Amino acid sequence: MNEDFIRKNFCLRHIGPSENDINQMLMVLKCNSMNDLIKKIIPEGILFKKKLNIPNSIEEHKYINHIFKTGKKNKIFRSYIGLGYKNSITPAVIQRNILENPNWYTSYTPYQSEISQGRLEALMNFQTMISDLTGMKISNASMLDEASAAADAMLMAYKKNIKINNKKKQKKPCFFVSDEIFPQTFSVLQTRCYGMGINIIKDSHNNFKYYYKENIFGIFLSYPTSLGEIYDYRELVQKVKKKNISVIVTTDILSLTLLTPPGEWDADIVVGSTQSFGIPMGYGGPYAAFLSTNEKFKRLLPGRIIGESIDKKNKKCFRMALQTREQHIKRERATSNICTSQVLPAIMASMYALYHGPMGLKFIAENIHYHTKKLEHVLLNNIGGIDQINISYFDTIRIKKKEDNFSLEKLKKISKRKKTNFRYIDNNHLTITLDETSTEKDIHHIVSIFHDVNGLNRKKFDKFFLLTKINEKHRIPNFIIRKSNYLEHPVFHKFHSENELMRYIKRLEKKDLSLTHSMIPLGSCTMKLNASSELLSLSQPEWRNIHPFSPKDQAKGYDLVIKKLEEYLKEITGFSGISFQPNSGAQGEYAGLMVIKTYHQFLKEKKRNIALIPSSSHGTNPASAIMAGMKVVIIKTKENGSIDENDLLKKVKEYKSFISVLMMTFPSTNGIYEDHNIKDVINIIHNNGGQVYMDGANMNAQVGLIKPAHLGFDICHLNLHKTFAIPHGGGGPGMGPICVAPHLKPFLPIHPLSYHQKKVKNKLTISSSPYGSSLILTISYAYIRMLGPDGLKKCTEVSLLNANYMKEKLKNDYEILYVGKNNKVAHELIIDCRMFKSIGIEVIDIAKRMMDYGYHAPTISFPVEGCMMIEPTESESKEEIDRLIDVFINIRNEIYEIERGIYSKKENVLKNAPHSLDLLTGNNWDYPYTREKAAYPLKWVKERKFWPSINRIEEAYGDRNLICVCT
């Protein structure tokens, strides 16, 4: 076996069809070779014909050794920096059975409730946990990070205020922010305010009384503050509420086991992070942020809400509620552009709460508080020249240097030598934040560092430390101590033993369909293989346990991976600058549009605020444009799915001096490369002063064959959780870095706590950490390193092959809605199901019936109502693709049976699908078809059967009566 074969073996494992299969599929398509196929699909003038300039593929086991050694370059210091990130302990039962379990990390967003009941129940637990701890009525099923949750909360208050305070419309709307919130949260709020035209005021909450004359719609408070102090906000809140000002609070979720929750002192919206609930810091993420609120704001709540419902047979079940908020429906009317959430980390956090229960969580919080009190006591009784100035605190003390003989510079040097990080506020102050991993040994270590500054008597200190006992009294005022109960639902009391929690996790797991069962052919979502070797680094301590605000020399492993990944992605796209801050594709869109907005502002072209967006674009495109303060103008698409160039020219002429950006998806969302010259379209916009943004959702049809920068695009985002193999995790985490042309590089996002800013011309900050969800960047790095330039190109080629093979096989049974050059499609295809409406069959009926075959449906009713968008990806084998083709053909035959009158329009296998095991084994079978036809429509289904745990959930059931917490 030659070395070249060994080196490429990962490519052979990632790509589904064998060389023999590829040749057979090419024959079906009447193509002589893969090059012949590509020439028939992609216009000649846009093909990139050189080899990508990235390293050749590395053998799988060599890569594993490489990433392990690279991880060792990261130095794990004891981190007491705080700022929303803490060391935490992931229970092994959760790490093993959820984080490292492909049944959990390869599933898709739970839009199809019947095959997502496990995730939905776990997310309902998450919502209940957040609502209980915050004292609010309703919570969503996670946000991207704490800072973006704060920004979305501000937007909720802004939207609410528009309806209430119409009298002050003549004044610019203002948002008041406490000067003691996290600096990264303030920067993200500042960016959002800039986009929306809101004036942000930053001051002490004690000075709020001086701003009553301003048109303030919301106030943002921190509880505890970033400096550790706990304030009593009750009087302030009552005063501002009388003026119809919304109160938003950011909080530490673990502290709320001890502190009176914000909901009990009349806060309107509460946000924060669940990272301390067993989620590793990972140099910034991923972790699940939360947003909870009261009934008044329910319809403005961003993200996803899980509700309790009933299926067709009145069986209790769960489904996504309030779905009209989803962007593909609301588009430019959306109140948020959040698309990917953080489902997998949210489920881990909820399981952490189940594992420990309310008493366990309180014990952890009290233990942290006890150690913090002891640290304060020992420091103040042994170290001269310092004081602790927080009157009240939970886990953070604030040290003030009060004498010149105590040197903070010396403390910095000693702490670095002793592998310890503190947060230095200025030349006279620092904070120390403890966490659930902190022990007596850690306290001793911290105090020893302070001792070494002045060279005090160590033996005397050691004796004092051993004899020190701390009283049980909290450093939390009595009026703030929590008196209400929380987590009273039985689910938080049942699973404290590992055996029971493991079984519960497995019971939920069995209710969910994932890539472990069958292909998930969702168009534009690219549900490809998430290889095990790509994910191994997620469990390595050196990758998991690095604080995002650690000095750069402690994160050399991360620095290497991020720099290399930046090089590779710039080479793949042809762009020259990149930012990894965005935590999702939608956040990438927003970041890119803010870059363009700032660029126009720099050129003194503030009037450019029009975003031209094709009607076929992703729903998050117009939502992102609205968040960036732009006005959306829709461009029509032609019958063949391409941009209507005449309408584009008309709109360009109409808005010539106001055009900011044209947002395009390429290949188009309709599954084709545009039939006109894409470069001409781009030139039209450039000639009229605008920029052109490429939505990178369909990058899986470009890598190695097309470079978007070479086409003339100015900016694009990349969905690393699609094209570059980061798992979807049931709806998140994701990553959406943006790549830009040279003229936009100075306008890329920065971060207030990054140690290595380059020269920039903006103050944009998009997420809580400098590199977004940094931990999962190692996955995309692995994907590129193990595939190399040849493997990456082949992935694109095979994705195009698989889609066109499916098109050819299905064209006699379904109308293929759009085709491009030479009657070919790109990496996805749309089948038209609207002709079945005449016999009462809707596209949703086909989707439900596919569950009986053991498949998740393709994307339905997007981008075209009543149609299905199918993307087989390169990872699926010919055998699996042929099975899915058989499913579509057999369902078409079932539709023929209705057309011929064998089954009625109301009573047939499609209308009653899916058929649960309960239904099929029950005594009352009163359907006109057999149980076998319902359960095993094809012979091979019996061997691979996946049973939906419930029957059909009717989408027509209203949202108003849904219960969104455990009852």
Question: Please, is 40 exposed, middle or buried when counting C-beta atoms within 10 Å of its C-beta (0-12, 13-18, 19+)?
Answer: middle
Q: Is the pLDDT of residue 112 over 60?
A: yes
Half-sphere exposure of 122 toward its Cβ, with a 13 Å CA cutoff?
34
Q: For 225, list phi and psi in degrees, rounded to 5.
A: -80, 175
What digits encode the pLDDT tens for the residues 495-533?
999 999 999 999 999 999 999 999 999 998 999 999 999
What digits encode the pLDDT tens for the residues 38-72?
999 998 889 999 999 999 999 999 999 999 999 99
- CA 737 to each of CA 234, 574, 703, 741, 766: distance values in angstroms, whole numbers, following the listed order: 41, 14, 16, 14, 11
Q: Quote the pTM value.
A: 0.96
The percent of residues in the chain predicted with pLDDT above 70, rounded, is 93
Strands (E), 704-834: 715-717, 738-740, 815-816, 829-832
Q: Is the pLDDT of residue 457 over 70?
A: no
End-to-end CA distance of the chain: 61
Q: 286 falls in which pLDDT band (50, 70, 90)?
A: very high
Q: For 645, list phi and psi in degrees, rounded to 5.
A: -65, -30
User: Which string of DSSP letters, residue by residue, matches 232-250?
Assistant: --HHHHHHHHTTT-EEEEE
Among 776, 778, 780, 799, which residue's Cα sits nearest to residue 704? 799
The answer to whether 849 touches 934, Cβ cutoff 8 Å, is no
What digits encode the pLDDT tens for the residues 741-755?
999 999 999 999 874
pLDDT for 957 = 45
Whole-number Å distance between alpha carbons of 805 and 811: 10
- Provide the 3-class DSSP secondary structure of residue 692: strand
Whole-number Å distance between alpha carbons of 285 and 262: 26
Report, in this order, helix, strand and coil percent for the chain, each rounded to 5: 45, 15, 40
What digits encode the pLDDT tens for the residues 585-629?
999 999 999 999 999 999 999 999 999 999 878 878 998 999 999
Most confident by average pLDDT, 263-267, 614-618, 640-644: 263-267
pLDDT for 540 = 96
- Provide the 3-class DSSP secondary structure of residue 405: coil
Residue 602 CB neighbour total at 10 angstroms = 12
pLDDT for 514 = 98
What does the DSSP 8-state code read for residue 394? S
Whole-number Å distance between alpha carbons of 747 and 108: 34
What digits encode the pLDDT tens for the residues 313-343?
899 999 988 643 454 556 666 666 777 789 9
Query: Does 755 or 550 have the greater pLDDT score?
Result: 550
- CA 572 to each of CA 3, 562, 569, 596, 788: distance values in angstroms, whole numbers, following the listed order: 26, 15, 5, 22, 11
The contacts of residue 62 (CB under 8 Å, 6+ apart) are none
Among 703, 699, 683, which residue's Cα sits nearest to residue 691? 683
